[in-house]
Amino acid sequence: MVAHRESGRQKAVDLFRKTFGSEPSVIVEAPGRINIIGEHTDYNDGFVLPIAIDRWLFVAAKGASTDRVHIYAADFDEADLFSIREIVRKEEGDWRNYARGVAAQLKEEGVELKGLQALIVSQIAIGAGLSSSAALEAALALAFLEVSDRSLDPLRLALLCQRAEHQFAGVHCGIMDQMATLLSLTGHALLIDCQSLTTQQVPLPDQVTFLVADTGKPRALAASEYNIRRSQCQEAVQHLSQLLGKPLRSLRYVSLEDINRHFFDLPDPVGRRARHVVTENQRVLDFVSALKANDLKLAGSLLLQSHQSLRDDYEVSCPELDAMVEAIMSCDGAYGARLTGAGFGGACITMVDATKAPTVQEESLTRYRNRLRSSPYQPHTFLVRPVGGASVVRLSET
């Protein structure tokens, strides 16, 4: 995918030149991410295991001589203009709020921002659960820092981007996406403890690769239902605090024994939401142990258990995602598959025998289409490899 990355970089430079009539001084490249396992656990202080993938969002940028920010999103053919002196959230709630939110948070962090000209072009499918939003936040934050001659620690920057998404985009996301985009290491998954924000780089076996199967169905309900699920988890914490006789900060502090003992004391669907989070946290840790033991069969079964829990307890799946998992698992060479991302559409991730990956990729799509002949959505599949986090390319150094 080196050529793919270089072509994206060149496209960003060419479009910047066409849009602004000058040369950019910097290119920022932020990868998308796919979460192998650990879904809807991050905002519950739990464990997640994402990888940054070889699909990038590019921001070509240069500093401006005024306090004006002019950003052009090539994929939407839309622009945004605002002053860094007065950054106001747009009520329309589109991509512009990610840009404005990042700038506002940098100012709150004490960064003396300079004006910016920036062009955005992306290889990350929107709505597929690959976290194009976190890549956008990270890339723009690094562009602002670069032209303002400032830098921030990657973890601090990830937290800043998360606040931008909370306050300007209105999505109360966890920290996983931003950390994966900024802290990942090539060839590794990133185990994140979302309570302590400590990380562990987990080497991935050479004999497996990962297949992303995008159903093509937009995640139209994801934002509103995401916030509902988060509220339900908070309600579960309140109930369990009373049942266990101790104040709990989050579902992270609920054991498997606790949830099994008090499951029927919790109202439905709150109990099922809590059961998913508690069992999913354990699945993440078990999956990492399985990888270290090279027990790929066990690792694959944990992915399937995760999908079943997301489907039945957390209720964020849909017929398209279920059909995709079934189609993939009917292919020889697939260890395990599950939906990834917020749900209600988007993509599945599969751990595949590397020697059989092309066959699984082809056959799974055919079998999926046979299962959902009347679907109006156009599915597609692609193989991904784990790459490093967001980086800055100073064009004077290329």
Kindly report, residue by residue over 277-305, the tens digit of the pLDDT.
999 999 999 999 999 999 999 999 999 99
Residue 128 is predicted with a pLDDT of 63
Q: How many CB atoms lie within 10 A of CB 317?
A: 22
Assign domain 208-385 to its CATH architecture.
2-Layer Sandwich (3.30)
Q: What's the Cα-to-Cα distance from 109 to each of 96, 105, 113, 160, 389, rounded to whole Å?
A: 20, 6, 11, 8, 22
| Domain assignments of the chain as residue spans, ordered by start | 2-203+387-397, 208-385
Residue 219 is predicted with a pLDDT of 77
Which of 223 and 386 is assigned the larger pLDDT?
386
Task: Using a pLDDT cut of 90, give the percent of the chain over it.
Answer: 85
> What's the length of the chain?
398
Given the candidates 3.30.230.10, 3.40.718.10, 1.10.3720.10, 1.10.150.120, the CATH classification of the domain at 2-203+387-397 is 3.30.230.10
Helix (H/G/I), strand (E/B), else coil: 91? coil
Q: Please tell me if the domain spanning 2-203+387-397 has the same topology as the one spanning 208-385.
A: no
Least confident of 82-96, 134-148, 236-250, 317-331: 82-96
312: pLDDT confidence band, cut at 50, 70 and 90?
very high
Residue 174 is predicted with a pLDDT of 78
Quote the mean pLDDT of the chain: 94
Does 2 score more than 80 pLDDT? no
pLDDT digits (tens, 9 = 90+) for 221-273: 666 788 899 999 999 999 999 999 999 999 999 999 999 999 999 999 999 99
Question: What's the whole-model pTM score?
Answer: 0.92
Residue 396 is predicted with a pLDDT of 65
Instruction: Find out whether 31 and 135 touch, Cβ atoms under 8 Å.
Output: yes
Least Cα distance to 277 among 50, 49, 42 occurs for: 42
Q: What is the DSSP track for 300-364?
A: HHHHHHHHHHHHHTS----HHHHHHHHHHHTSTTEEEEEEESS-SSSEEEEEEEGGGHHHHHHHH
Instruction: Find out whether 336 and 213 touch, Cβ atoms under 8 Å.
Output: no
Read off the DSSP letter of residue 219.
Answer: -
Does 173 score more than 90 pLDDT? no
Which of 90 and 381 is assigned the larger pLDDT?
381
Residues labelled as active-site residues: 177
Residue 398 is predicted with a pLDDT of 42
Q: What residues contact 110, with CB distance under 8 A and at least 6 apart?
A: none
User: Averaged over 35-39, what is the pLDDT?
Assistant: 96
39: pLDDT confidence band, cut at 50, 70 and 90?
very high
Residue 1 is predicted with a pLDDT of 57
Residue 373 is predicted with a pLDDT of 85
Residue 125 is predicted with a pLDDT of 76
Least confident of 78-82, 87-91, 194-198, 292-296: 87-91
Residue 169 is predicted with a pLDDT of 81
What single-letter amino acid sits at 346? G
